[in-house]
Amino acid sequence: IAGITQAPTSQILAAGRRMTLRCTQDMRHNAMYWYRQDLGLGLRLIHYSNTAGTTGKGEVPDGYSVSRANTDDFPLTLASAVPSQTSVYFCASSDKAGDYNEQFFGPGTRLTVL
């Protein structure tokens, strides 16, 4: 049972490069989320998807894009990376967007933009 997987585990990227962070879940959860976590700050929502085929903007969406072509996958793309996007990125999923449902987190991707 994998739960949520993310790839790569870590990456060092030159500024201006394009990068896609991968996220896959095998729990058949409807909702998926991308967060970034920076020292001294809470997790901040970048983008979310309540169900396959739909996406929405979170608190800090600028510079990022997502797609949700199917239930399992929710890739996050940085079109042209900048140093301020250096962070730890967590993908999460929940059975439904509302109600009680807890969010399950992937192991994270540590991204450094130079």
Partner 1 sequence: GQNIDQPTEMTATEGAIVQINCTYQTSGFNGLFWYQQHAGEAPTFLSYNVLDGLEEKGRFSSFLSRSKGYSYLLLKELQMKDSASYLCAVRDSNYQLIWGAGTKLIIKP
The answer to whether 61 contacts partner 1 (rule: CB under 8 A) is no
Applying CB under 8 A, among 19, 21, 32, 48 the residue interacting with partner 1 is: 48
Applying CB under 8 A, among 90, 93, 111, 113 the residue interacting with partner 1 is: 90
The answer to whether 43 contacts partner 1 (rule: CB under 8 A) is yes
The answer to whether 74 contacts partner 1 (rule: CB under 8 A) is no
Taking the complex as a whole, how short is the minimal distance between the CB of residue 81 and partner 1, in angstroms?
A: 23
Could you tell me the two tokens for 11? Answer: 């990456």
Name which of residues 21 to 40 contact partner 1 (CB under 8 A).
35, 40
User: What gap in Å lies between CA 48 and CA 67, rounded to an integer?
Assistant: 9
The beta strand positions in 1-114, using DSSP E, are 4-7, 10-13, 19-25, 31-37, 44-49, 56-57, 64-66, 76-78, 87-94, 104-105, 109-113
Is-contact 89 108, C-beta < 8 A? Answer: yes
The footprint of partner 1 (CB under 8 A) covers 35, 40-45, 48, 58, 90, 97-98, 100, 102-108
